[in-house]
Structure 1
Amino acid sequence: MRYLKALIVLFIVSSLFTSCFEDNDDNQVSASQINDFVWKGMNTFYLYKDEVPDLANDRFSSDGEYASYLNSFSKPEDLFESLIYEPKTVDEFSWIVNDYIALEQFFSGIITSNGMEFGIFGFSPTDTNRYGYVRYILPNTSATNQDVKRGDIFYGINGTQLTSENWRTLTSADNYTINLGSYNDNGTPETTDDSVDNTSKSISLSKAQYTENPILINKVLDAAGTKVAYLMYNGFTGTDQFNAELNDAFGTFKSANATELVLDLRYNPGGSVNTAILLASMITGQFTGDVFSTEEWNSEFQQAFEDENPELLINRFVNNNNGVTLNSLNLTRVFILTTRSSASASELIINSLEPYINVVQIGTNTRGKYQASRTLYDSPNFSRSGANPSHTYAMQPLIFKSLNVNGKTDYFDGLFPQQNNILFESIKNLGVLGDENEPLLARAISIIDGSGKFPINKSDKTENRIEISGNSKDLLPFANDMYIDKDIPNDLIKRVLFE
Structure 2
Amino acid sequence: MLSKPSTCCVFLLICLSFTSCKKDNPDFPPGSTGAINTWISEQMEQYYYWSSALPSNQNVLLTPSDYFQSLLVPEDRFSSIMQTGRTDAYGNTLLNTFGFDFMQFTQGSRTVTLISHVVPGSIGERLGLQRGDTLESINGQLPTKNNLSTWVQQVTQQTSILLTLANGKSYTLPASYISQPVIYPSETFMVDIENKIGYLFLSHFDFSGGYDMLKAIEKLRGYGVEELILDLRYNNGGSVAFVAFTALALVNVQPNDVFVHYKGNGRLQNLQETFSQTLGRQPDGYSFSASDVRQKGLGLRRLLVLGTGHTASASEMLINNLRPYIDVIHIGSVTYGKDMASTTLTTPASVAGSDPSWLIQPMVYKIYNAHDQGEYNAGLQPQQTIAEYSVQPLYPFGDKRDALVAEAITQLGDGQKQMKSNTNEPVKASAEPHLLFQSAPYRAKPILLRPPAEQE
TM-score, length-scaled by structure 1: 0.71
Secondary structure of the corresponding residue to residue 41 of structure 2: helix
- Give the whole-Å Cα distance in 1 for the aligned partners of 2:372 and 2:66: 35
1:297 CA drift (Å): 0.9
2:104 aligned with 1:121: yes
Q: Is contact 1:221–1:227 with CA below 8 Å preserved after alignment?
A: yes
Q: Which amino acid aligns with 1:144?
A: E
Describe the shift of the 1:488–1:123 C-alpha distance in structure 2 as closer, same or farther (beyond 3 A).
same
Q: Is contact 2:253–2:325 with CA below 8 Å preserved after alignment?
A: no
- Taking the TM superposition and a 5 Å limit, the aligned residue runs for 1:463-474 are 463=433, 465-467=434-436, 469-473=437-441
1:99 CA drift (Å): 3.1
Which residue of the partner structure matches residue 76 of structure 2? 91
Q: Is contact 1:370–1:410 with CA below 8 Å preserved after alignment?
A: yes
- The C-alpha deviation readout for 1:234-287, integer Å capped at 9, x for no partner, is 1123xx433343344334433443222110001111122222122122222443
Q: Unpaired runs of 5+ in structure 1?
A: 1-6, 19-28, 61-68, 183-198, 307-312, 493-499
- Taking the TM superposition and a 5 Å limit, the aligned residue runs for 1:24-423 are 29-54=31-56, 69-70=59-60, 72-73=61-62, 75-86=63-74, 90-99=75-84, 112-116=96-100, 118-123=101-106, 133-154=114-135, 156-162=137-143, 163-165=145-147, 166-178=150-162, 180=164, 182=166, 202-218=170-186, 219-221=188-190, 223=192, 225-237=194-206, 240-301=207-268, 305=269, 313-318=271-276, 322-324=287-289, 325-326=292-293, 327-379=296-348, 390-418=355-383, 421-423=384-386
Describe the shift of the 1:100–1:353 C-alpha distance in structure 2 as closer, same or farther (beyond 3 A).
farther
Which residue of the partner structure matches residue 185 of structure 1? none
Which residue of the partner structure matches residue 187 of structure 1? none
- Give the whole-Å Cα distance in 2 for the aligned partners of 1:422 and 1:246: 28
Secondary structure of the corresponding residue to residue 447 of structure 1: helix
Q: Is contact 2:251–2:301 with CA below 8 Å preserved after alignment?
A: yes
1:376 CA drift (Å): 2.1
- Matched positions, count: 407
Q: Unpaired runs of 5+ in structure 2?
A: 1-19, 281-286, 417-426
Describe the shift of the 1:365–1:9 C-alpha distance in structure 2 as closer, same or farther (beyond 3 A).
same
- Higher RCO structure (Cα 8 Å, ≥6 apart): 2
CA RMSD of aligned residues (A): 3.7
- Give the whole-Å Cα distance in 1 for the aligned partners of 2:435 and 2:179: 32
- The C-alpha deviation readout for 1:28-51, integer Å capped at 9, x for no partner, is x43444334433332222222222
Q: Which amino acid aligns with 2:451?
A: I
Q: Is contact 2:348–2:357 with CA below 8 Å preserved after alignment?
A: no
- Give the whole-Å Cα distance in 2 for the aligned partners of 1:149 and 1:351: 32
Which residue of the partner structure matches residue 426 of structure 1? 389
- Give the whole-Å Cα distance in 2 for the aligned partners of 1:37 and 1:438: 51
- Give the whole-Å Cα distance in 2 for the aligned partners of 1:374 and 1:436: 41
1:342 CA drift (Å): 0.8
Match for 1:10 among 23, 44, 55? Answer: 23
- The C-alpha deviation readout for 1:142-186, integer Å capped at 9, x for no partner, is 32244322123435443344243323322321334355465xxxx
- Give the whole-Å Cα distance in 1 for the aligned partners of 2:70 and 2:164: 42
Describe the shift of the 1:142–1:356 C-alpha distance in structure 2 as closer, same or farther (beyond 3 A).
same
- The C-alpha deviation readout for 1:412-465, integer Å capped at 9, x for no partner, is 3211222xx21111273211211222221122223334589xxxx9773122x3
- Give the whole-Å Cα distance in 2 for the aligned partners of 1:413 and 1:330: 31
- Give the whole-Å Cα distance in 2 for the aligned partners of 1:293 and 1:367: 19
1:353 CA drift (Å): 1.1
- Give the whole-Å Cα distance in 2 for the aligned partners of 1:103 and 1:229: 40
Describe the shift of the 1:224–1:484 C-alpha distance in structure 2 as closer, same or farther (beyond 3 A).
closer
Q: Which amino acid aligns with 1:208?
A: S
Describe the shift of the 1:335–1:388 C-alpha distance in structure 2 as closer, same or farther (beyond 3 A).
farther
- Give the whole-Å Cα distance in 2 for the aligned partners of 1:228 and 1:434: 11
- The C-alpha deviation readout for 1:294-328, integer Å capped at 9, x for no partner, is 11111211xxx25xxxxxx1121239663442132
- Give the whole-Å Cα distance in 1 for the aligned partners of 2:224 and 2:353: 52
1:400 CA drift (Å): 0.8
Secondary structure of the corresponding residue to residue 164 of structure 1: helix
Q: Which amino acid aligns with 1:203?
A: Y
- Give the whole-Å Cα distance in 2 for the aligned partners of 1:155 and 1:389: 50
1:232 CA drift (Å): 0.3
